[in-house]
Chains A and B, each alone.
Chain A
């Protein structure tokens, strides 16, 4: 178990800057998830931590040791790959033992370790099989076992669940989390799936175009995203972004929403303070999550931040526990999450409650969060 400190890392591939000054500090035992759309540089960052690529500038520290020029095998890390990368000619036992053998560990010790790891991951009965005789989930376990057998100070996971089917992915996700709670080794985990990121991470670094947009706990990312990209990337269905005018009325700021019929609603967004002054009578982007627009909320009586609007239903998407209702506000599509029995049919008008306590405002130019 070791901490990981990354300072101002840059990586160029030819004339292409893939990482543009990335800094992260991960505490020992922490579960860090790097998440972002494909091409954001998250896998490159992981390869740099592993030492499979060399950094152009910056510094990587594992524990107190700068590892910029340390070979992968001497970094005391283990990695699990998306394609599992099991050695095809070796059976499971040899796959687990390979890393130990190359390090010249004594045979008895290797035997013991393989047994322990196999028992831990419930693959003891598979030890004599070749990778080609295993199912996807079993290969995944063996790949994790190979990493575990080495007992490294940091685990690196490169989209380890992407090749599994949906059901297995959810199961393995839970297993990885349990595993981390048991062994408490530092983990750096790369994924493009925000749900995986949210469920697994102690802290998440949201990346795009080679920079980290936000590095925070899952709940903070969800509640207080620092810009539109993070707000839209985290959460499913995605947050609604509604372009609207910010107006000042009696020391209170409000945004103006308008449905397709032309009825307009004034929704207060808090006291007028200096930070928002610049945008008064100008356009802002209101960010509000679908579950904050519903037919009703618990303890809504007397809550001054819940407001009613009326909109015509355009499309319905039942998901089971909730139904997603799409309405049109300010000319854009807005998703609302309502209880199934309350959903009206397309074309019908529907009363919706908006909880503005979690509403966010963004600058339409810079896309950054404003106010509060």
Chain B
């Protein structure tokens, strides 16, 4: 037995090493596949137009320059406006922050009610709310624009915030509910007997353990709302367009030469916030998504 064991281990580890190599090769290839377009974008944005015309797509810039970034930010033309994407970026920020905060908070309260304060018909309401996750947004464009008109918040950032809150709620409610059902009901009962009411229990007992799911909801909502194009193009006024719409306009505005470096810089600017959010909070995102799976 003693003689066999190292052989066994050796055999197994050779197999394991080969397996590892295969797994890592596939992962590296996949990562490259996803990174190459970004690499091209980043390189192109750092090139001069001359460089772009004469060089090839994946080559390094002959001279690095941030001119394209500067232009994209403050002087590129979107339609007849030539002030860059700066204003639209700020529009998006002004839209995303309140929309994310409000939809996440309401989602948290919803999830708390649907899991811990069930009432007659609450399951039915919840399933209706979930339908919202499956509604293609194109379907609601017209009724929603009428609604916004009635509310007198059409063509404004407030209108966009409203739409994003409404269509974020099914997701945030689902996230929070599924997280809160893993908290034992007995804790709520104990708190009721201890004299705490609806909001006190939420505030003192539920919220302090909700960090992982808040991260999930915030990342999800930030990404969804920041990246949204359809609502942005349909419901915004000329002064409230989000960056995604501006990027589209910028790329489609051709006055003579097509400035690929500016387009790429603007595209990266448009994508940067969600990238940063994911890099900063990504590990909590995965942890939060799997939090319900393992009890503890």
A-binding segment of B193-201, B251-259, B276-284: B193-201
Query: Is the CB of B5 closer than 8 A to any CB of chain A?
Result: no
Asked if residues A85 and B189 are in contact (CB atoms below 8 Å), the reply is yes
- Bound complex: CA A84 to CA B196 (Å): 17
Min CB distance A44 to B, Å, is 13
**In the assembled complex, which residues on chain A have CB atoms less than 8 Å from the CB atom of B209?**
88-89
Q: Does B57 lie at the interface of the complex (its beta carbon under 8 Å from any beta carbon of A)? A: no
Chain A hits for B193, CB < 8 A: 50-52, 72-73, 77-79, 99
Q: Which of A51, A84, A102, A150 contacts B200 (CB 8 A)?
A: A102
B184 interface residue (CB < 8 Å to A): yes
Q: Is A265 an interface residue (CB 8 A)?
A: no
1/0 contact string of B175-210 vs chain A (CB within 8 Å): 000000001101101111111100010001100110
Which of B184, B192, B194, B196 has the most chain A CB atoms inside 10 A of its CB?
A: B194
User: Nearest A residue to B188 by beta-carbon distance?
Assistant: A85
**Contact partner, B195, options A47, A90, A99, Cβ 8 Å:** A99
Q: Determine the chain B residues whose CB is within 8 A of the CB of A83 once the complex forms.
A: 184, 186
CA distance A51 to B194 in the complex (A): 12
Least CB distance, A164 to chain B, in whole angstroms? 16
Give complex CA distance A89, B202 in Å.
12
Interface flags for A163-198 (1: CB within 8 Å of B; 0: not) read 000000000000000000000000000000000000
Cα(A52)–Cα(B190), bound, Å? 10
Chain A residues whose CB sits within 8 angstroms of the CB of B183 once the complex forms: 88
Cα of A87 to Cα of B189 in the assembled complex, Å: 11
Q: For the complex, count residues of A whose C-beta is within 8 A of B.
A: 26
Answer yes or no: A81 CB below 8 A from chain B CBs.
Answer: yes
Whether the pair B195, A73 counts as a contact (CB closer than 8 A) is: yes
B187 pairs with A85, CB closer than 8 A: yes
> Which residues of B, 142-201, contact A by the 8 Å Cβ criterion?
183-184, 186-187, 189-196, 200
Q: Mark A99-120, 1 if CB is under 8 A from B, else 0.
A: 1001100000000000000000
A77 to B194, CA, bound (A): 9
| Distance in angstroms between the alpha carbons of A52 and B191 in the assembled complex | 11
Q: Are A81 and B195 in contact (CB under 8 A)?
A: no
Is A98 part of the binding interface, using a Cβ–Cβ cutoff of 8 Å?
yes
Minimum Cβ distance to chain A for residue B32 (Å): 42
CA distance A83 to B183 in the complex (A): 11
Would A81 and B189 count as touching, CB distance under 8 A? yes
Is there an interface contact between A89 and B186, defined as CB atoms closer than 8 Å? no
Residue A54 is within 8 A (CB to CB) of chain B in the complex: no
Q: How far is the CA of A86 from the CA of B194 in the complex (A)?
A: 12
A81 touches B190 (CB 8 A): yes
Chain B CB within 8 A of A82 CB: yes
Q: Which residues of B contact A81 (CB under 8 A)?
A: 186, 189-190
Bound Cα distance from A160 to B189, whole angstroms: 15
* Contact partner, A87, options B191, B192, B195, Cβ 8 Å: B191
CB-based contact B192/A85 at 8 Å: no
* Chain B nearest Cβ from A141, distance in angstroms: 15
Cβ–Cβ contact B205 & A85, under 8 A: no
The answer for the CA separation of A92 and B195 in the assembled complex, in Å, is 18
- The 4 tightest CB contacts between A and B, nearest first, are A89-B208, A99-B194, A102-B195, A85-B186
Residues of B within 8 A of A (CB): 183-184, 186-187, 189-196, 200, 204-205, 208-209
Query: Can you offer 14 A-B residue contacts whose CB atoms are under 8 A?
Result: A71-B192, A72-B193, A73-B196, A77-B193, A81-B186, A85-B186, A87-B204, A90-B205, A98-B191, A99-B195, A102-B194, A102-B196, A102-B200, A146-B190
